[in-house]
A and B are shown apart, each in its own frame.
Chain A
């Protein structure tokens, strides 16, 4: 109580005491007692003197003129009262004013001298104080009356051992209590006052509660009696509020069983029924299934049997409907450590409320922070457990705040006090307890609660090993219940008669007590098995019936639209990333440093004596492209591999918000893409510059970026599917190494296992699913075809190569079959040509008829149907030979033409020394001979090979147009210059780029539906069924 109130009180006390009969000794005693209650010994006498002074000031004159000037004096005092009251009005808050009125009334009540003058003064004061008539009436009623009948108004709560016939007043049953505890609620200022009429020794918050004295019943107060249940602030408040806040949630659990995936029983036959405004503890020894129960009740896990029903809606089968009214606060932190306390709450709130302006939400956040007592630290980063910035209690409160802000109707809290000091624990629990006043239903898993906390709960569920429910009811009675069964003395006393403590440990001591052998050592066998407890419980427990009609589910908040959600997620993520300087620095330095190291190492100078770097002669350009691909994969995956994993707890909570997963994922992806794009830019810029790769920045960048982006999405997939950081980093090599092997750079596709498709016409199927192969091919093909030098000659050289191949290898090969046939025929051999060879000839001639060159030479073989084993004869062979010779001369002549044309072009370019120099420079800077060797497959052991009944070109793949068998056949040989899409040739670069993004889209779909996780679960389930079936055998 402040000095101001005290002074004002002393003055008012004095005025009132002076009236009529004057100061009685009782009244003075009251004042003294009141002061003693508030102040130290010295201060008491000081204020008492002040009081005496005030009384004495006008005392004499009043005594003298006692009889004649009664009214006059009272008028004078009235004026004085008015003056003081008005003065008080300016300095005291409404709450303090109510306290003053209560004290004034208490003063008069001390000697029951209710003269009209005295009452008039108090009335005036109350009026000046703007206290409503009704409340003033209630206050005076509470102060003056003692009898139940007289106290029958809704502002009063009576707590006693026997019931009353009161209709309006609230009632709390307190067995063994002598007299009654009367509590007044002044609703306008949310104050509670208490007085006690009995003779027992009661304590309010540890201080003695004197009979007929009025005490402030502050938030969190508790009145303890020697025996029996204490009266908690929350209980009292709940009684008053239950009228205002309607019960709107009925939470019913029927016969719930839960079996773990490995077949072990987690929960067995759980039943409970709760409604709004309750706080329920879930207790049990470790491993008894507390958290499992919480998970099943909150809908995270599905029960294997039974159901959980919230207001007629099945939680598990109609999850979508009820999801949003459920809040879940896991034991672990849900905070984003890089963000501040404020930001954590702010983004959480932003995600939840749509209709409100940011400023509105900011106000709301500030309010919550104030009520959590976190306002002072709102700009601190939360940090992590290793690097603490805020205390454990603050973290916990903030975690609760995240849920509070959207006010779910049912809240599940897992071990909110673990790791907290007892003071912090109590704070947190009081916070939760207050929530029940607002009609929330709260389930709390709690381990070893203190007596204080234990008694805060309305109900407690006790589980025993194997998830067996062995108690469900009042916490204090739990102790009595188990003691009774255990046949202990004092079994009817729930708590310590002296200190009022209930020791929840003692309950578990009884439940788990073990049989002792003759030496007093415990044998490890329990006295009472869980199922025996369960039996006891079943006979004891009678399920409550639902009395009221079941209301509809409460309305939930309105969510943000998709785009807003995404933008909030985006900002939240971006903010948390930007605030981590180390992360930003490392990520953006990694790429250029790696690029520099790599490029500088492979900056090979062919002629060390000259010391001049010539791009054309650098043998490492192809490997550089390969490394680019791998680095892109690596950086992309590393940057994303922990993203969702890191957020998983937050996601678990946010899953109750029914937020859009796609908005979360896309916002995440866009940030990762941004990082990857910048990394790609830095890497390519540095790498290409060091190696002297001219003018291909964009192409390199887009490929690097696309691979990184894909790796980002793949990384997100892993981080969403696996549940530990170590697993994630073990998985990464599994994803990268096959991609390295099957890129086509390290191992030629011609020389990998034939069973996997090696050495065939087209890229092996297994490599087709490797993004690295598409990226690498795009880079290589683009670098070769589109470099500033080759792009002038590419089309000519391609044609030259096609003609040359036909002329030098292909036609002679075909002719070889005919010539062999002829010579064998001549030698009169039995079977001059095999059916397979005939088939080959037919295939190839058909192919030749349809080749793109056929439209120019117009040389076709019409009677292809004759090339069949049954009709193949000397004549056919002759015709084929004629045909082939014609083709050959066409190819030869045109090859010469093209060859000379190219030569003329180049000759012109070098026909003077200056031009020649220029040409040389141009050539040296843009063309890479080693890459050319690679794309032309110069060292192929065979220029063409026979596969089955077809011939396949192996040299010059870069100049070979792929053929497709049907419209959707887009597969080609490696390093084809273009690919066919629905019969139209698309440059390989663009085609491969499209494929990479197609992969990304597929990976995104997998991510969206969490396919990888589902797949892994499938695997796990199978494993389990195998194990169990083995066991059964």
Chain B
């Protein structure tokens, strides 16, 4: 009996082994198919196809030199935010574009705009010595720049090292600021002015947003409001720059938003008063002083409207 049982077991095992062999066979054939199809997948798109896939490049472009000049008229974030600091504006974390938003930026349009936004935020934070929190913003800037293929302007390792200590604030600010400047210039050189324009627009929008939302004393508010009013000219320039890309729907939306902002700025009047320049001694050297002034006339109502519009615009940008 027992012997027969073992025999049965042997037969059973044979079956099991055969079954297993079948499974292995199936696996192997699957593997084979995979390998073959994999190879075919490997030859997906030839570089030729990609390169010859020309697209209509009939954009009416502005002259590069002009773009460069106009972009340079856009105040860099440092200019605006340092005014805020000097006028005793309290730092507010809530004004920043949350670092986690970076995940939402998938297109070059979004990336470029928000690179500008984060750049402003970074400088704003650094001016107020918030060095720890800057790390995430730094890495966001780095990431967006990398996605835009302009990572070479942000030596992440250096910035990272510098931002570890508040003593290095000036260096961080300097590197970031010059990084932005060099980047925009480079982009224009590379024929990617659209990206450069968007980055500048981003910095400007975020700066304006922070300036309009800053909390301070009425006297200081006065100074800030004056600076806000001065942005009228900048907005005109930005719109001018963007108009050449109005065939792009993203640009188009932004232009529309900027235009409605412009409507509010139309209520601002700037008068320019010319005065003879004079020569003054400073630190044992003679300096020419420009005595001309521009007088900005901006009502509280206008400020309110601008504040509302810019918030709408900015929140659409960062979403």
Residues of A within 8 A of B (CB): 342-343, 346, 358-359, 362, 366, 378-379, 567, 570-571, 574-575, 607, 616-617, 674, 677, 698, 702, 786, 791, 794-796, 799-800, 804, 807-809, 852-853, 856, 892-901, 903-904, 906-907, 909-911, 916, 919-920, 923-924, 938-939, 941, 943, 978, 985-987, 989-990
Contact = CB atoms under 8 A, between A and B. Distances in A.
B47 A571 contact: no
Interface string B39-66: 1011011011011011101000000000
Given A893-B191, A899-B108, A941-B157, A358 B152 contact: no
A795 B50 contact: yes
A343 B6 contact: yes
B191 A892 contact: yes
Contacts of A985: 42
Contact of B190 (A674, A794, A892): A892
B152 A808 contact: yes
B13 A574 contact: yes
Interface stretch (B29-37, B268-276, B288-296): B29-37
B109 interface: yes
A190 B82 CA distance: 120
B149 interface: yes
Interface in B55-79: 55, 57
Nearest to A798: B47
A172 B249 CA distance: 120
B192 interface: yes
A920 B42 CA distance: 26
B297 interface: no
Interface stretch (B83-91, B99-107, B256-264): B99-107
A775 to B, nearest CB: 16
A362 B51 contact: no
Nearest to B160: A939
Interface in B106-158: 106-109, 146, 149, 151-152, 156-157
Contacts of A366: 3
A786 B37 CA distance: 13
B2 interface: yes
A346 B6 contact: yes
B7 interface: yes
Interface of B: 2-3, 6-7, 10, 13, 17, 20, 27, 30-31, 34-35, 38-39, 41-42, 44-45, 47-48, 50-51, 53-55, 57, 100, 103-104, 106-109, 146, 149, 151-152, 156-157, 190-192, 249-250
Contacts of B57: 897
Contacts of A943: 152
B49 to A, nearest CB: 9
Most buried by B among A378, A804, A903, A938: A903
A896 B192 contact: yes
24 contacts: A362-B3, A366-B3, A379-B6, A567-B17, A571-B10, A571-B17, A616-B103, A698-B30, A791-B44, A795-B47, A800-B149, A809-B152, A892-B190, A893-B191, A897-B57, A898-B50, A899-B108, A904-B55, A907-B250, A910-B107, A916-B106, A920-B103, A924-B103, A990-B35
A751 to B, nearest CB: 14
Given A852-B47, A941-B157, A987 B10 contact: no
Given A702-B31, A909-B106, A990-B35, 17 more contacts: A362-B6, A362-B7, A379-B6, A571-B10, A574-B17, A617-B103, A677-B27, A698-B30, A698-B34, A791-B44, A892-B191, A896-B191, A897-B53, A897-B57, A907-B107, A910-B106, A920-B103
Contact of B109 (A570, A616, A907, A941): A907
B85 to A, nearest CB: 30
A856 B47 contact: yes
A786 B191 CA distance: 32
A891 to B, nearest CB: 10
Contacts of B20: 674
Contacts of B2: 342, 378-379
B51 A799 contact: yes
B191 A987 contact: no
A663 B13 CA distance: 19
Nearest to A342: B6
Given A852-B47, A907-B109, A938-B146, A990 B39 contact: yes
Contacts of B17: 567, 570-571, 574
A797 B42 CA distance: 15
B51 A990 contact: no
A173 B121 CA distance: 117
A901 B53 contact: yes
Main SS class of interface, B: helix
Question: Top 9 closest A-B pairs, CB basis?
Answer: A903-B108, A795-B45, A907-B107, A987-B42, A804-B149, A856-B51, A799-B50, A906-B107, A906-B106
Contacts of A920: 103-104, 106
Given A571-B10, A574-B17, A607-B100, A896 B38 contact: no
A363 B150 CA distance: 83
A754 B149 CA distance: 31
Given A575-B13, A906-B106, A907-B250, A896 B190 contact: yes
Given A856-B47, A907-B109, A897 B54 contact: yes
Given A892-B191, A899-B108, A990 B149 contact: no
A677 B7 CA distance: 29
Nearest to A903: B108
B3 A796 contact: no
A553 B299 CA distance: 122
Contacts of B103: 616-617, 920, 924
Nearest to A899: B149
Nearest to A924: B103
B48 A795 contact: no
Contacts of B48: 856
A904 B57 CA distance: 13
B246 to A, nearest CB: 16
B107 A903 contact: yes
A373 B55 CA distance: 92
B13 A939 contact: no
A422 B84 CA distance: 105
B86 to A, nearest CB: 35
A747 B45 CA distance: 34
A985 B104 CA distance: 36
Contacts of B7: 358-359, 362
A359 B10 CA distance: 11
A923 B30 contact: no
Contacts of B41: 786, 791
A331 B138 CA distance: 74
Given A358-B10, A796-B50, A987 B38 contact: yes
A941 B157 CA distance: 8
Contacts of B55: 897, 900-901, 904
Contacts of B35: 990
A593 B190 CA distance: 54
A613 to B, nearest CB: 14
A459 to B, nearest CB: 40
Nearest to B248: A907
Contacts of B107: 903, 906-907, 910
Given A571-B17, A702-B31, A987 B157 contact: no
A732 to B, nearest CB: 28
A153 B68 CA distance: 131
Contacts of B108: 899-900, 903
Contacts of B53: 897, 901
Nearest to A905: B107
Contacts of A939: 156-157
Contacts of A378: 2
B97 to A, nearest CB: 15
B170 to A, nearest CB: 24
B186 to A, nearest CB: 9
Nearest to A617: B103
A923 B106 contact: yes
A943 to B, nearest CB: 7
A911 B248 CA distance: 12
